[in-house]
Structure 1
Amino acid sequence: MKSDIRVCASWREHHDRPVYTLTATCPACGGDAVNSAPAPYDPTDRYGEYRRALKRRARQ
C-alpha cells in the first residue's frame, strides 16, 4: 500500500522545508514529487535484529 501524499524530490536544494502535495509534481518549483511514506517492513531483513537492539540500547 502506497501513500497518496508526495514530497518534492529536490526540496533540500529548492525549498526551506519539505513541500507536500497530492500530485506528481511540486506545486512550488515544478519538480518531481516522490512518495513520502517510509519503506515497508521487511521480515527477511538480515540486519533488523541488530538495528532493533541498538534502538533498545539507545533508549536505556
Structure 2
Amino acid sequence: MKSNIKICASWQKNHEQPVYTLADTCPKCNSVTKNTAPAPFDPTDAYGEYRRALKQRVRE
C-alpha cells in the first residue's frame, strides 16, 4: 500500500513548523493539505533532452 505524506497548505500562517499528515486536512487547523513530493516530470525542462541522452549513454 502506497501512502503520500502531505503538508498543511497554510502552515506558514498558522504554525511555527510544517505539519505533516496522511489526511486530506490538517489535524491542527483543519485547512487543506497538499502533497510534499515534487513533480516527477517537467515538460518545460530545457535540458531534459540532454539529460535523457546522457543517461542512455551511461546505460550502454
Tell me the TM-score normalised to structure 2 length.
Answer: 0.65
2:31 matched to 1:31?
A: yes
- The higher radius of gyration belongs to 2
Tell me the TM-score normalised to structure 1 length.
Answer: 0.65
Q: CA deviation at 1:39?
A: 1.9
Structure 1 Cα separation of the partners of residues 6 and 33 of structure 2: 6
1:3 and 1:42, CA in 2 relative to 1: closer, same or farther beyond 3 A? Answer: farther
RMSD: 2.6
Structure 2 Cα separation of the partners of residues 17 and 31 of structure 1: 15
Superposition misfits of 4+ residues, deviation over 3 angstroms? 41-44
Structure 2: 5+ residue stretches without partners:
49-60
Q: CA deviation at 1:38?
A: 1.4
1:38 and 1:20, CA in 2 relative to 1: closer, same or farther beyond 3 A? Answer: same
